[in-house]
Structure 1
Amino acid sequence: MENKASAPVAVMDLGTNTFHLLIAQGTATDYTELIHEHEAVKLGEGGINKDVIQPVAFERGVATMLKFKADLDKFKVTKVRAIATSAVRNAANGQQFIDEVADKTGIQIELINGEQEAEYIYKAVKLAGGLGDKTALIMDIGGGSVEFILGNAHGILWKQSFEIGAARLMDKFHQTDPIPADAINSLNVYLQEQLTTLTGVAQKHPVDTLIGSSGAFETFVEVVELSKGNNFSLAIKNYTFDIADLTSVTDTFIRSSHQQREGMKGVIPVRVDMIVVASLVTRFILANLQINQVCMSTYSLKEGVLAEMME
């Protein structure tokens, strides 16, 4: 396995809720992870719908980048890509954040648009072996935006990014816990209005399977598997849900209080609250597009970027 001696590369996915760092070496189809970190930065906290990064969140972001820089130094990584998405893209002080990180760490953050984000997510899910000949709808629920990609193993039919991420929806609709029925109705009406293009495209290209890209879908899987007494490992790349399990776990999240979710095994702290609106978005898509097959891919944006760097 001579590829293991290749120089390590690093990808940072600087999301609205979580900053991820992946350092790996090898090739796009056969690599070893040297480090895989997640930091709950909550960059959108308190300001996501005002399109500003609040001072406390700004500081958390910079501190996390300093921590990541120490990891890069430890593994002597010179080939680095740091990708920022919705929260930084839309924030009035997003450029200030990029400048301060460059100044303090030497890391140059790239801002990508929603279309590029969708492209990388598709590339990652395809790399994980999650696509076949039939039309699938890939959905990546971020904190700031949600990417939808319609396609199969042969290519993308359509893709679009919508600024309806979990942090935005939570700020708009999930003010009381458990989330009240009228808030759920308002959220569904809002999704209906926002996602008209998706609904139209799905009528032209009927969707066989929904593939959830990491994030909330990993939490759905973990809670389902733990409830069955299985010690589930996210080392797998693809997982197929029993639709009854998915319905049951999302029902539980939607009806639960903050305290109940906090006590659930398999729910990481950053997702304790976001998981409610993520469940509602998932259920809306399944009902609206009449999909009854759902999978999860553990690969997302960072694996897509990593593949491009290693190719």
Structure 2
Amino acid sequence: MPDKNPHLNNSTPVAVMDLGTNTFHLLIAEMQGDEIKEIHHETEAVKLGEGGINKNIIQPEAFDRGIAAMHKFAKTIEEHKTQKVHAIATSALRNASNGKDFISEVKKQTGLQIKIINGDREATYIYEGIKASGCLSKSPSLIMDIGGGSVEFIICDHHQIYWKHSFEIGAARLMDKFHQQDPIPAASVTDLCKYLDEKLPLLFDAVKAYNLTSLIGSSGAFESFAEVIETEKGHKFNLKTTPTYQFKPGELLQLISRLQVSSHQQRAETKGIIPVRVDMIVVAALITRYMMQQLKLDDVIMSTYSLKEGVMVGMLT
């Protein structure tokens, strides 16, 4: 563990907001000895990209949901008397023509200052978060973070990043393009895979230089995959106490096949899939299978740690 930030008191909490395309997260934590201790974590399903993700605009209803979530976060932050606050915005606000208007309105109404980061910085934070989860080894792995607006790929080990890139092929964008009917038609699955073939040559060229041993899925849909699998086995599964999870390839691929042919109602009734992921989990599952097949990787690991934990590590250590 690196030396603690000398500007922060050991017992004073700090807050990180991860303002994504689909969900807004608030994480409040503090240092306890050499460990980062979570105090509060909440998620708001703002669906900021709904109806406008591929038009690069935040629609009025989504804009209002985002503002309401920020008011709620501001109240919680004040109640916990946090010493420092970072609000990080990614793909939706990065690309929306009215993203700056949203940031200005949040500042005006709540006093919170949002910082937009580029895809490169986003990938770095994701790496730092996953590194903190302890699932990286001395062998090269590929991290995949499937967001609503973008997907980050990072080739790395527990010492360093070798290559990283952010692609604007997030689940909300792909759902808007390919998941128009439910269940998703077989032809749309084929079209989706062809689209990924067109978008990811840069990634496939990069991985040739490394003997990848595992695919690490960063939070999001991967949490739902793990929760569904374990719940259906009759096991109690708590994401707060399970920072990493090793998938059995057969179980994961079987679940992905089920999700592909499922209806909205079937997914909504599946224990382990939270409401905000009921629709986007289909394309997230298809991307996951596509990457496993393209890279011939059966070793898939889930990390509940991601961008917000990566930002937190930098604030507290």
TM-based fold match above 0.5 = yes
1:78 to 73, 83, 89: 83
Q: Which amino acid aligns with 1:151?
A: C
Give the structure 2 partner of residue 30 of structure 1: 35
C-alpha distance in structure 2 between counterparts of 1:6 and 1:169, whole Å:
43
Query: Structure 2 matches for 1:76-225, cutoff 5 A?
Result: 76-225=81-230
Q: CA deviation at 1:28?
A: 9.5
2:250 to 231, 240, 244: 244
C-alpha distance in structure 2 between counterparts of 1:283 and 1:273, whole Å:
17
Q: CA deviation at 1:285?
A: 0.3
- The alignment-based identity, stated in percent, is 57
Q: CA deviation at 1:31?
A: 2.1
Is the CA contact (8 Å cut-off) linking 1:114 and 1:161 kept in structure 2? yes
Residues 43, 29 of structure 1: CA spacing in aligned structure 2 closer, same or farther, 3 A cutoff?
Answer: farther
Q: CA deviation at 1:33?
A: 1.5
In structure 2, runs of 5+ residues without a counterpart are 1-7
Is the CA contact (8 Å cut-off) linking 2:10 and 2:32 kept in structure 1? no
Q: Which amino acid aligns with 2:29?
A: A
Q: CA deviation at 1:5?
A: 5.7
Is the CA contact (8 Å cut-off) linking 1:85 and 1:111 kept in structure 2? yes
C-alpha distance in structure 1 between counterparts of 2:196 and 2:150, whole Å:
13
What are the superposed Cα offsets for residues 108-140 of structure 1, whole Å, 9 maximum, x if unpaired?
000000000000000111111111111100000
What are the superposed Cα offsets for residues 10-50 of structure 1, whole Å, 9 maximum, x if unpaired?
00000000000001111695122221000000000000000
2:296 matched to 1:286?
no
Query: Structure 2 matches for 1:33-48, cutoff 5 A?
Result: 33-48=38-53
Q: Which amino acid aligns with 1:205?
A: Y
C-alpha distance in structure 2 between counterparts of 1:53 and 1:140, whole Å:
22
The list of structure 1 runs, each at least 4 consecutive aligned residues, that deviate by more than 2 angstroms after superposition, is none
Q: CA deviation at 1:238?
A: 1.0
Q: CA deviation at 1:207?
A: 1.4
Is the CA contact (8 Å cut-off) linking 1:4 and 1:31 kept in structure 2? no
The CA RMSD over aligned residues, in Å, is 1.3
Residues 113, 29 of structure 1: CA spacing in aligned structure 2 closer, same or farther, 3 A cutoff?
Answer: farther
Q: Which amino acid aligns with 2:270?
A: M
SS in structure 2 at match of 1:67: helix
Question: TM-score when scaled to structure 1?
Answer: 0.97
SS in structure 1 at match of 2:208: helix
2:307 matched to 1:301?
yes
C-alpha distance in structure 1 between counterparts of 2:146 and 2:122, whole Å:
12
What are the superposed Cα offsets for residues 180-220 of structure 1, whole Å, 9 maximum, x if unpaired?
01000000000011000111111221311000010000000
Q: CA deviation at 1:146?
A: 0.3
What are the superposed Cα offsets for residues 152-189 of structure 1, whole Å, 9 maximum, x if unpaired?
01101100000000000000000000000100000000
Q: Which amino acid aligns with 1:173?
A: F
Q: Which amino acid aligns with 1:276?
A: V
Question: TM-score when scaled to structure 2?
Answer: 0.96
Is the CA contact (8 Å cut-off) linking 1:214 and 1:297 kept in structure 2? yes
C-alpha distance in structure 2 between counterparts of 1:88 and 1:15, whole Å:
8
User: Size of the alignment, in residue pairs?
Assistant: 309
C-alpha distance in structure 2 between counterparts of 1:152 and 1:27, whole Å:
27
C-alpha distance in structure 2 between counterparts of 1:129 and 1:261, whole Å:
31
2:219 matched to 1:231?
no
C-alpha distance in structure 1 between counterparts of 2:209 and 2:165, whole Å:
16
